[in-house]
Structure 1
Amino acid sequence: MPPDAAQLLSAATEVRENAYVPYSHFKVGAALRGASGTVYRGCNVENVAYPEGTCAEAGAIAAMVAAGETELVAVCVIADSPDPVPPCGGCRQKLAEFGRAEVPVTLATTAGRRLHTTIGELLPGSFSVAHMAHAARSE
């Protein structure tokens, strides 16, 4: 397990209980560490007007940005599932926006299963600002 994964797992597990999931009943918790060392947490929040809900990862990123940070250095996501649940495609892109490819990601289940990966492994070939460099020069 990555060095700070235990602390992030504890934070993600705790915040998961606050998830608002009256429709799917599928609670997800996420915790990430900003470059400052601060841990930010998020849980999924559903809305009757699907797909207007918010993923746990997006909530944790929003908390980080609201606190004035824009770089994450570790991530943990937990759900009650038979296998560790990876972030959705949109959240993978959000994680790549604020974390480098080598940032460790721990995916966990409430039953104790773990999968250790990285942002780069979750989103190979990610779209980045480098793809837009030509457009900025041609205006």
Structure 2
Amino acid sequence: MIKQKIEIQLEVFETISELPKDIQELMNKAQQARKNAYAPYSHFRVGAAIRLSSGEITIGSNQENAAYPSGLCAERVAIFHTGALFPNEEIKAMAISASSSNQVLSEPIGPCGACRQSMAEYEQKQKSPIAIYFMGETGKIVKVASVMELLPLGFDAKYL
């Protein structure tokens, strides 16, 4: 038996003002998108913003449904919306911001597993990394240089 260790590389920023200007703008768009979340059940609101290689920014927010799990997370709303509108554009970065009506979220909130898998599909399709920045409502921001940092040993089309 061989034991292997998987490590990921994170960058942690103390405040939004420490981010590069273009990423500050992207995070601000994610925070704005979060306000459009439809979250009457969980009261957990998430906004996501994507920057394309052209500079275009697309957004998404989580959309819940009484027939759970028919809703969709902000990350998937944003990435599917981007794929539908700009199928040949390269995704450079995604910013994600989360808040809750039940508490102040001051810790970075990473994407769920389903979103990580969906985001990984787009990264694999374009054959270049997508930088992911995520935060709560306030506090630190975490950056990973690639979706695969968030989904080691991920599933992809080569297994089909």
CA RMSD of aligned residues (A): 1.7
Which 5+ residue runs of structure 2 have no aligned equivalent? 1-18, 100-104
Q: Is structure 2 residue 130 aligned with structure 1 residue 103? A: yes
Higher relative contact order (CA 8 A, sep 6+): 2
SS in 1 for 2:44: coil
Cα shift at 1:2:
5.3
Can you list the C-alpha shifts for 1:85-120, whole angstroms capped at 9, x where unaligned? Answer: 111111001111112573211011221321111311
**Aligned-partner residue type, residue 16 of structure 1:** R
The partner residue of 1:57 within 75, 80, 102 is 75
SS in 2 for 1:27: strand
Contact 1:43 1:57 in 2 (8 A): yes
Which 5+ residue runs of structure 1 have no aligned equivalent? 133-139
Q: Is structure 2 residue 151 aligned with structure 1 residue 123? A: yes
The partner residue of 2:95 within 71, 76, 88 is 76
**Aligned-partner residue type, residue 27 of structure 2:** L
Identity, % of aligned positions: 39
Q: How many residues align?
A: 132
Cα shift at 1:66:
2.1
Poorly superposed stretches of 4+, deviation over 4 Å: none
Contact 2:37 2:47 in 1 (8 A): yes
SS in 1 for 2:110: coil
Contact 2:106 2:139 in 1 (8 A): no
**Aligned-partner residue type, residue 135 of structure 2:** A
| Number of the residue aligned with 1:87 | 111
| Number of the residue aligned with 1:34 | 52
TM-score when normalising by structure 2? 0.75
